Structure 1
């Protein structure tokens, strides 16, 4: 069993693969106060909930956008398995070619997204990852990463709106009953969801104008499912793109040895 670990700003996603099959996905909060011992215990608890244990793990690979947790999770996996996990720390680790972009501040989550997307779809590609932040990663016809955008995430945006406006309540994301909200809550819900959908559609259309060709839009991230039904253009939706990418990178590294 291969353990893939995606350390995000809000959650740590754990995906276990048995061959090509994603056997299970579990999540932990991205607790920046935990040490390696506490992390190891939490990992062990999550594995036990799936009737699995350290003895079932033949390898592990991780990527992180939270530097404070990278070493912690790395040591925790070593404590549990006695093996050092593969850490995706550079675009080269994923075999990703970079264009004119400052790699010193390129998040490895975007690198993994791109590697996974290239393994499944023909470029050019626009990969939208809707998590705590919404990231856009653009790959040209040659599969070279050109850059993209970083936007406030869907949840972050509405929480900030509720926090800064006294009369606006916290909201949940329910499927819209229409296009026009008829009270404050539905106005906020529809504004957030349709606004996010229009952002994906509008940016993708402008990218196609700039690139001079049609592109494939890939949607992933925990919040992507909320806007998927609202999109008016075809997209490829893969909620576990990060975990699939980590598995592909691990296998690529194993084959190079």
Structure 2
């Protein structure tokens, strides 16, 4: 389980394949019992009996929800729940000014990326915030960038500009928009594609070598087709990272 500010991604995975992924809204007001009912419904819908689940691992950037969801899983499935963080064995070294402040989601994404590509690797996660992180050729987590997310940017634009409407994020019809809505769709998609291309190019310059680029997150599917450089779109990246951490620390 990957608890984000906007969504909780719940997935069922083993070393052979991902069985399913479901996204639900992060709700800070839910109790552990309400989350247990939600999890039971998801398992039932996907025809996975609870007795087939061997264990669970979660990472979270929402501390208010972490404990409730951990307790919900333990009550429902009676399996141990591991919580991802800097204290776990990860297979990477965090070379930051304050390693303890690095988000668990960033560590999980880096671990997942190293199951998909040889380092150096750049990981772009398009969520509530867009994060760009980098693992060098020696498997050191060396940092990155935090950027306002696509949805966050659009919402702020609509809220602060009286004549601009609130929009859902969809693929643009053309680069040069012919009306306000088309201009906003083109702007948010193409600017983020160009950001990925440009940041990756500059990171490679600083590293002094080429790097693989892996893009994930709920909005990644809209952006990656418009990137000019080769990028890997992986919607399962966080689950793969969580599975790797689980196997290393069980």
TM-score, normalization by structure 2: 0.96
Residue in 2 that maps onto 1:221:
217
Equivalent-residue separation in structure 1 for 2:249 and 2:55 (angstroms): 12
Q: Determine if contact 1:91/1:97 at 8 Å carries over to the other structure.
A: no
Match of 2:195 in 1: 199
Structure 1 residue 108 and structure 2 residue 109: aligned?
no
Bigger shift: 64-73 or 89-98? 89-98
* Equivalent residue, structure 2, for 1:122: 118
Cα deviation code 1:204-253 (max 9, x no counterpart)? 11111111111111111111111111100001111110011111111122
Question: What is the aligned length?
Answer: 250
Judged with a 3 Å threshold, the aligned counterparts in structure 2 of structure 1 residues 91 and 154 are, in CA distance, closer, same or farther, namely: farther
Deviates more, 1:94-103 or 1:60-69: 94-103
**Of the candidates 228, 231, 239, which is equivalent to residue 235 of structure 1?**
231
Runs of 4+ in 1 over 6 A off after TM superposition: none
Q: CA deviation at 1:141?
A: 1.3
**SS of residue paired to 2:94:** coil
Q: Please list the CA deviations of residues 46-104 of structure 1 after superposition, one character each: whole Å capped at 9, or x if unmatched.
A: 11111223222111111111111111111111101222211112164323211133223
Tell me which residue corresponds to 2:165. 169
Whether the 8 Å contact between 2:14 and 2:243 is mirrored in structure 1 is no
Partner SS, residue 115 of structure 2? helix
Gaps of 5+ in 2: none
Corresponding residue for residue 54 of structure 1: 50
1:41 aligns to 2:40 (yes or no): no
Confirm or deny that 1:78 pairs with 2:74.
Answer: yes
User: Which moved further from structure 2: 81-90 or 41-50?
Assistant: 81-90
C-alpha change, 1:189 and 1:91, in structure 2 (3 Å) is farther
Contact 1:61 1:87 in 2 (8 A): yes
For residue 173 of structure 2, give the secondary structure of its aligned residue in structure 1. Answer: coil
SS in 1 for 2:229: coil
SS of structure 2 residue aligned to 1:145 = strand
TM-score (norm 1): 0.93
Show structure 1 runs of 5+ residues with no match: none
1:245 aligns with 2:241: yes
Structure 1 vs Structure 2 CA RMSD? 1.3
Check if 1:145 corresponds to 2:138: no
Residue 12 of structure 1 aligns to a residue whose secondary structure is strand
- Give the Cα–Cα distance (whole angstroms) in 1 for the partners of residues 99 and 49 of structure 2: 37
Distance of 2:174 and 2:37 partners within structure 1? 46
Query: Following the alignment from structure 2 to structure 1, what is the Cα–Cα distance between the partners of residues 224 and 36?
Result: 35
Q: State the distance in 2 between where 1:93 and 1:164 align.
A: 44
For 2:197 and 2:53, the matched residues in 1 are separated by 41
